[in-house]
Structure 1
């Protein structure tokens, strides 16, 4: 792997070497089922601050801490209520982050951006669970990308942003992460579950807990209350070109009117059906498929990969297909809206 020689690549067979780097305060990117994370041992203040610096991440944007064993959670948090325990039992390991009251003196202070809380999740990814076990302490793991850019779903995305800037990266056994967008983030209270960031664990799925009411926080409320969770305040997921998000209510003729009136090269990110109709339009110079028409999981998995692919082409704007409102599409809708400069 000569092209990656500046940042060392690890796999299942030499994870112990990656663990040694992390224990020494280095930075190693790791795969999860959602996106790749930029790892540092969570009790090393200097290492954690290096994560913020390398990413260009605002210091008031808290980090998620990744753990390998649910049974150890009481070592890291001040208390666990019944709702949080039920969520862990139902969805861990998996793409759910839970915000807990923090136990003092456990983690680097910069992780929680001055708040008395800590965000924990247990990823469903073999290499990463083993890596955390080998390190012997949880890892921070914000998305392994330059802040504001589309998150990485492939090793090549991580290296595009950080080759030569971080110590290492762990290669997964699969070429692309399964889910493709970041975890759902919640606050778990006795009588309600508040979704701060939507993800693969949907509002309907969280309702399985039973008694608590499940609420989805509005973006305006999140911004007014300060940064409780990653992904709720700052510009996110944006390529260098302007992104135009096409509302799901638009018919094919509306797409064609916009495309035919354009005087710049267009990159098209859409499902197979729309691509078949539109890809031969003269101003469409690049395309990327989101998959079959109604496969929302595939759309979500391919969103960041598509934005990154089109960013590296000659297109001057990117046209992205929107999805109709439904619980299973909340993560896609959230991320595509944040990536968009314009909605048409």
Structure 2
């Protein structure tokens, strides 16, 4: 693709207006959410959505999440259910995405759904994201603002390191507080956890007052973020390291000597917020291997381990 000038916008009135105008014109604008930075395009414009896939180098069979500012607009494009309303009441706006049947007259580009009859939808909690969505006044398709398969961006600098010259603008709203992509819940049949995230399976089951199934890794892709090798640095990632080996960049958890520590106090929320930022930093050292100490596989640790296992997967 041809090189373009990527502008950096402030999250003020002028920056929000410029970002919304760019989106209406079919341009690509990266913006912060509470989870990670998203690469936004008007979800109704085929050409704009195609540019997302081109800029990221993303496989066209991998669907996109569409972001909305308000529930009324969101319910116009998907078949809404009682279960969806319970989840919305409990967690929206927030870091949870729902996969629901898309309406035939939704107006959403077919490229967004990657040929599926469902649509992944979300209402982000980030005030910058919500302000942009309100200013734009329409649905915005926005996967993570990085090259496909690489570490997700939690700062504007991460976006520019991979997409400078490939997108039109990035809105710098500072670091993302959650640091992991949204939980994805399928509601086209039995409620099914399609991707773990900041909202846990137990929290969802409690809100629904019903059990929640989990997607098997062998099933066909039904939502964003299910490709086996994903969120990967250039370096090889070695998981569950009981001890460090010479020459490795080291990522710890709990009290221990290491290059960077996700949380010396073993706080999983802190670890999730630091994960992608610290992978970016360790990868920038040029180390051939990043060794990661074990992370408890409970609560938010399930989502952290999901991202790490994809980062470590064979490419």
**Fold-level match, TM-score > 0.5?**
yes
Q: Which of the residues 200, 203, 224 maps onto 1:205? A: 203
**Equivalent residue number for residue 87 of structure 1:** 87
Q: Which has the larger radius of gyration?
A: 1
The yes-or-no answer on 1:270 pairing with 2:252 is yes
Distance 1:219 1:341 in 2: 13
**Equivalent residue number for residue 40 of structure 1:** 41
Report how many residues are paired.
308
**Equivalent residue number for residue 251 of structure 1:** none
Q: Which of the residues 203, 210, 232 maps onto 1:238? A: 232
The yes-or-no answer on 1:255 pairing with 2:243 is yes
Distance 1:49 1:6 in 2: 19
CA contact (8 A) 2:256 2:264 kept: no
- Aligned-residue offset at 1:341: 4.5
The alignment's TM-score, normalised by the length of structure 2, stands at 0.93
Q: Aligned to 1:246, what secondary structure does the other structure show?
A: coil
CA contact (8 A) 2:272 2:300 kept: no
CA contact (8 A) 1:244 1:341 kept: no
Q: Which of the residues 274, 283, 305 maps onto 1:302? A: 274
CA contact (8 A) 2:83 2:208 kept: no
The alignment's TM-score, normalised by the length of structure 1, stands at 0.86
Structure 1 gap ranges (5+): 248-253, 280-286
Change (3 A) 1:271 1:8: same
- Aligned-residue offset at 1:107: 0.4
Q: Whose helix fraction is larger, Structure 1's or Structure 2's? A: 1
Q: Aligned to 1:273, what secondary structure does the other structure show?
A: coil
Distance 2:91 2:264 in 1: 27
- Aligned-residue offset at 1:164: 1.7
**Equivalent residue number for residue 166 of structure 1:** 167
Distance 2:52 2:313 in 1: 27
- Aligned-residue offset at 1:272: 5.3
Distance 1:325 1:232 in 2: 19
Distance 2:46 2:65 in 1: 15
